[in-house]
A and B are shown apart, each in its own frame.
Chain A
Amino acid sequence: MRNRSDTLSGWFFLTPFLLVYLVFLIYPVFQAAYMSLFDWDLLAMWDRSIVGLRNYAEMFTSDNVFWVSLINTLKFVVYSTPLIIFIGLLLAVLINHQGGGFFRALFFSPYIFSVSVVTLIWGFLLNPQQGLIAVFLGWFGVEPISWLTNPRLALPAIVVTTLWWTMGFNMVLFLAGLQDISPSLYEAASIDGTNSLQKFFHITIPGLRRTMLLVVVLQVIASFQIFGQVYIMTRGGPAGTTRVLIQYIYESGFRDYRLGYASAMSVLLFLLMFIVSYFQFKLSPEEG
């Protein structure tokens, strides 16, 4: 008797969340898969026709912009992930050793800004006529650089912007993980005469394994979905060299009216991220 009433209660409490979860988080994935099999016009939705896997075929075999966008996204993931994680770890270690609440808050704070505020600040920082970076470089005799119109510098500039914006989040996760490492381990090592660097590599790093896994997974998931910074700062330019996949999905759906094609790319992105995350979990020695 108790069990049945428990089950009823359990589901009662779970249902509000579950409803929103299923309708707005899970259902869209299936809907995207469904839509990807159609030629689905944004302005003429009644007129859609099923095309099977043709969207995927077009994507892979005859759409150069898709490949460039995918590669740009991958480039972003590869450039930004190690950088944002490493700096986050570095600062966490420094602050854990030496810093305190004030520094922790300061380095975390950019995270609370929205992408439009961040791009507003950095768009102008980088501006060759009006920005601080031009002034700063000027002290070293360097001519003003038009970062965002330079095909080799635009993506790195966006990476640095993202670093400033989100590093604090990783730093906080690392700080939490560092708290978990027992101080007695360090004390014992000191008695043994190991120096700081050795302690770092033999105690700190192994002790952070679980945290590192979480940080890497979250960072990669976030990086794959990059959109705002690029869209606002360069619109995918110069000449499409910073266009990322989500921007192309957006353009396909809303500029080209091709909801089916856009869905196919969304499904691909989902699968890609799923595979990457899966392997990350698999490769970690313990479960996350």
Chain B
Amino acid sequence: MRTQKMILTVILAIMAAFWIAPVIWMVSLAFTPNEILKTISTSMIPISPTAENFAGVISVGLTSRWFLNSIIVTGLTTIFTLIFHSMAGYAFAKIKFWGKKVMFPAVLAGLMVPKEAMFIPLFLLFARFNAHNTYAALILPRVAIPLGVFLMTQFIKAIPDEIEEAVQIDGASRWRTFWQIIMPMSVPAFTALGIFTFILTWNDYLWPLVSATKKEMFTITTGLASLQGNFAQGTELGALMARGVIAGAPLMILFILFQRNLIRGISLSSGTK
């Protein structure tokens, strides 16, 4: 048994090494001067490490602006999503209202819609109002996530009815109950849904590509992609990799801090415990 355990651990370790190697490589290149990378670009450890690539990224070009755009768009999308979805989840979980039996499956049916493929009509919708290259265009289409409603509903259902009833006997309105009781108790679900939304929105590519066509409205995701085709790959590899690190670092940090919650949330929404 012990040898079996050891063998499995070794297999896992080897696979893990291969799995994480690409990321380590990117970080290594990001800390290597461009000059050196012109001739050698395959070292996992930075040769004569430097922070000049990062300094260059922040001061030159639009990377900082792109980063800011991502923060604003992703932040607002996440906030709106959390509010709207917890409200909807509360309605489905706790309120007996006329039409609920029809609306719940109707909302879940939205899972079938290929969001990515619907960029043409969305483009037209915003063009009509000359609303492209705005934050609103990047936020609004991403605020409705059927799976998110499912997650919140499941979670809120699990909150015991008695707690609610106790507050309502005291004369509290649904609204107050929602804000003062349900919301605080839903923090685990919030964290999961929030992180998930944050990741999905931060990484959105096709829609921002289509709608935010002016360079200063790029998100860090589309901005970084735009550099890849045109960048002087031979001469500025380090700078390019540094931008990649900056694009990925915030999410990595968030992930490391909240991974338990995120993974739990994904598990929850799969309908299992």
Contact = CB atoms under 8 A, between A and B. Distances in A.
B120 interface: yes
A136 B75 CA distance: 41
Interface in A25-45: 25-29, 31-32, 35, 45
B272 A180 contact: yes
Interface string B259-271: 1100100110011
Of A17, A214, A253, A269, chain B has the most CB atoms within 10 Å of the CB of: A17
Interface stretch (A64-72, A149-157, A270-278): A270-278
Interface in A123-140: 123-125, 130-132, 134-135
B125 interface: yes
A17 B193 CA distance: 15
A135 B42 contact: yes
Contacts of A159: none
Contacts of B9: 98
Contact of B88 (A17, A103, A259, A266): A17
A94 B240 contact: no
B189 interface: no
B82 to A, nearest CB: 11
A25 B203 contact: no
A122 B118 CA distance: 28
Contacts of A101: 259-260
B273 interface: yes
Contact of B202 (A10, A111, A114, A232): A114
Contact of A9 (B97, B144, B260): B97
Interface stretch (B12-20, B53-61, B158-166): B12-20
A112 B251 contact: yes
A7 B84 contact: no
B127 to A, nearest CB: 8
Contact of A7 (B98, B110, B251, B271): B98
B170 interface: no
A25 B113 contact: yes
Contacts of B23: 109-110, 121
B8 interface: yes
Nearest to A273: B114
A203 interface: no
B112 A254 contact: no
Contact of A94 (B12, B42, B272): B12
Given A11-B97, A105-B259, A164-B19, A29 B251 contact: no
9 contacts: A6-B95, A18-B107, A25-B115, A109-B255, A124-B29, A124-B241, A176-B266, A210-B271, A225-B117
Interface of B: 5, 8-9, 11-12, 15-16, 19-23, 25-26, 29, 41-42, 83-85, 87-88, 90-92, 95-100, 103, 107, 110, 112-125, 127, 140-141, 143-144, 146, 149, 174, 178, 199, 202-203, 205-206, 210, 220-222, 224-225, 228-229, 233, 237, 240-241, 244, 247-248, 251-252, 254-256, 259-260, 263, 266-267, 270-273
